[in-house]
Amino acid sequence: MTNAGNAPAARRRPGRRASAAAWPRPRRPWLPPGLTYRVQGLLVPNRFYHWLARRLEAFPAAYWLFTAGEKTAKSAIFGCRMCGQCALPVTGYACPQTCPKQLRNGPCGGVGMDGSCEVYPDVRCVWVAAYERAERHGRTADLRLLQRPLDHRRWGRSSWVNYWQGRDGELWTANDGLAAAPEISRPVPSVPAASLAAGEP
């Protein structure tokens, strides 16, 4: 999904400087994908995590301390920007929010022939990195799932707490929808010949 307010820096009017925070820069995680998939297995919701999440939300100071720790770790590894609705498990652990256009469903049309980002040509498109990382572990099918729009009220919140509280169930579709019959194949209702002769629509 594109954040309409965040146009690429390259297209801004001359004379206006973008703050560094306004334009995300693609980040390739430095942890190997195999390790990130294994760590994900350790974070799967269970009764303890659910209990922990509830306790954290009951005590704001503990919640914000926990969230600060999550932010420190994930921003160092993935360039996490704390959208609060983590897509990493289905993006090869490359954070889509580091895309300058914040696209959640794959790359834009401006990726360079060498896989470079259109906005920051000196770095690799984060979606190219996502594909390369997912491919190494046979997870490219993940990238065909449709990411639903972000709930922007959750920015800055802990995505782990949201995950353990069961709020991430609808972040992406269950399948890529390719098995669904295309609309065009539905039967077209027949029009009575008398109506056609009378010129009725």
The CA angle 22-91-46, to the nearest 5 degrees, is 105
Q: Give the largest CA-CA distance in the chain.
A: 76
Contact between 130 and ligand SF4 by CB under 6 A: the answer reads no
Tell me the two tokens of residue 54.
């509830």
Closer of 56 and 82 to ligand SF4 (Cβ): 82
Choose, by CB under 6 A, the member of 53, 56, 88, 130 that binds ligand SF4.
88
Choose, by CB under 6 A, the member of 53, 83, 99, 129 that binds ligand SF4.
83
Contact between 81 and ligand SF4 by CB under 6 A: the answer reads yes
Judge contact between 86 and 169, C-beta under 8 A. Answer: no
Whole-number Å distance between alpha carbons of 31 and 23: 23
Contact between 94 and ligand SF4 by CB under 6 A: the answer reads no
Least distance (Å) between residue 60 CB and ligand SF4: 20
DSSP string across 24-40:
------SS-HHHHHHHH
Q: Which of 137, 160, 159, 138 is nearest to 150 (CA)?
A: 159
Stretch 143-172 residues interacting with ligand SF4 (CB under 6 A): 159
Whole-number Å distance between alpha carbons of 18 and 27: 19
Least distance (Å) between residue 147 CB and ligand SF4: 9
Question: Which residues make beta-bridge pairs with 48?
Answer: none
Contact between 126 and ligand SF4 by CB under 6 A: the answer reads no
Contact between 134 and ligand SF4 by CB under 6 A: the answer reads no
Choose, by CB under 6 A, the member of 27, 28, 74, 133 that binds ligand SF4.
74
Contact between 78 and ligand SF4 by CB under 6 A: the answer reads yes
Helix (H, G, I), strand (E, B) or coil at 116: strand
Least distance (Å) between residue 15 CB and ligand SF4: 30
Footprint of ligand SF4 on this chain (CB under 6 A)?
Answer: 74, 78, 80-83, 86-88, 95-97, 159
